[in-house]
Amino acid sequence: MRRAPYLLLICVFALISAVCFAFALTGHSSGLKVGAAAFALFCLLLLGLILKRESRIRELAAALHEAEEAARSNLERVDAERSKALSVCDSLPCILLMCRKSGTVAFANQIAQTVFGSDLQNKTVLEISLSVDLQKLIESAAEIGEACTQNITLNYPQTRDYLAACWPAKYGAEMLVLSLHDRTELTQTRRLRADFVANASHELRTPMATIRSMAETVLDEAHLSDEKHRRYLKKILSEVDRLTLISEDLMTLSEAESQPPQKHRCDLSELARYVCSQMEPRAENAGLQWSCDIQPGVFVQGDDSQLVIAMLNVVSNAIRYTDEGSILVSLSTENRCAVFKVSDTGIGIASEHLPRIFERFYRVDRARSRETGGTGLGLSILKHIVEAHGGRVDVKSDLNVGSTFSIFLPLDEITEPVE
């Protein structure tokens, strides 16, 4: 803004006005007029100047306001972008940490805070995880400037298996990103599968080895008595039967595991009566007292063939592990559940074995299990089927007194037929 000409003009008119006033005071009336006119002009000019300045100020204020608005909307956009980025980081199904090259934490997503605690800022990764491996991984990524990955088991704050990856951040050259994918379940599943394959092949190898040695004896010993000959052949047959049982149970387990049950409305009372009709003769042959109390009209949503297998397994076990006494089978309803209960007065299970009897191939008394045609898979099949139907299995047992196995299944109440 060029203020000098205005100031000069104001000064000139002020001077003229002053002179005119002086003349007027000394009696020159025309001087007074000129002075008044000059004074008026001076006032007008002053007013114009003030107005001009004001409009300029208004312009400046508007420009400032615009700039402020732009800055505010920019800030809002940055905030929105930031919270979007944060929510992406928080919704990632893994631990995400932003670390400085020194190893201190600059940012931690929600899962990281849940696992390691909320106050992570400026703590070192070593401090929060107590893992030297993780610290070394960060150091390597910082040193080579490339992504490094490693399977790492953290023992603190919990024992979990992770796939850890660390790489330099694209922006912020001093920053590194560290992600930890929890693979504990996967590792456990792999371990269980490996154990299962090892156990299954062991179970199959034993009868096959017996069959082989019996067959060799029959073949090699030319003068084998008829009685021995028959005995060996019978043994071979029983081992083949055993192999068949194992492979059938393995098939049942694999089928139950590979697909969810094909559920429909099942009359559990009818299925339970069928199971009893199959098992009662076996119990009586074993000299056991048999009683059965089936409540009619108990319906569940389920796969009937799988439910029959589950019930047969538990009743068959009761008969196989009871030397004398009785078997009581019942079906009733309780708290919106169907309860299929099998009680026996058998050998019972010592409390230290109870937590493990549902594991595959776990047997308390291996010899007895074998003698009675057990495969060690019955209870794991039972548990798998029942849980896939949204139910649970409960067992109460006292050594040398007897056991009670109860299967709880949710009742199918919604589709109850109107009679």
- Binding flag, residue 369, ligand ADP (CB under 6 A): yes
State the CB neighbour count (10 A cutoff) for residue 369. 19
Shortest distance in whole angstroms from residue 370 CB to ligand ADP: 8
Can you say whether the dihedral through the CA atoms of 226, 231, 232, 236 is positive or negative? positive
Q: Which of 96, 276, 347, 393 binds ligand ADP (CB under 6 A)?
A: 347
Q: Which of 128, 266, 337, 379 binds ligand ADP (CB under 6 A)?
A: 379
Give the binding range for ligand ADP (CB under 6 A) out of 89-97, 132-140, 168-176, 344-352.
344-352
> In whole angstroms, what separates CA 265 from the centre of its chain?
31
Q: Which of 377, 385, 386, 411 binds ligand ADP (CB under 6 A)?
A: 377
Shortest distance in whole angstroms from residue 355 CB to ligand ADP: 11
Shortest distance in whole angstroms from residue 95 CB to ligand ADP: 39
Verify cis geometry, omega within 30 degrees of 0, for the bond prior to 355: no
Shortest distance in whole angstroms from residue 347 CB to ligand ADP: 5
Total interface residues for ligand ADP by CB under 6 A: 22
Q: At 129, which amino acid appears?
A: S
Residues of this chain, 385-404, that bind ligand ADP according to CB under 6 A:
403
Shortest distance in whole angstroms from residue 320 CB to ligand ADP: 6
Query: Could you give phi then psi for residue 9, rounded to 5 degrees?
Result: -60, -45
Q: Which is nearer to ligand ADP, 124 or 210 (CB)?
A: 210
Place of tokens 């009680």: 343
Question: Which has the closest alpha carbon to 342: 394, 386, 393, 404?
Answer: 404
Residues of this chain, 305-334, that bind ligand ADP according to CB under 6 A:
317-318, 321
Q: Which is nearer to ligand ADP, 321 or 408 (CB)?
A: 321
Q: Which is nearer to ligand ADP, 109 or 380 (CB)?
A: 380
String marking each residue 203-232 x if it binds ligand ADP according to CB under 6 A: ------------------------------
Shortest distance in whole angstroms from residue 357 CB to ligand ADP: 4
Shortest distance in whole angstroms from residue 254 CB to ligand ADP: 16
Q: Which of 103, 207, 302, 374 binds ligand ADP (CB under 6 A)?
A: 374
C-alpha torsion 19→24→30→31, nearest 10: 0
Q: Which of 14, 133, 365, 390 binds ligand ADP (CB under 6 A)?
A: 365
List contacts with ligand ADP (CB under 6 A): 317-318, 321, 344, 346-349, 357, 362-365, 369, 374-380, 403
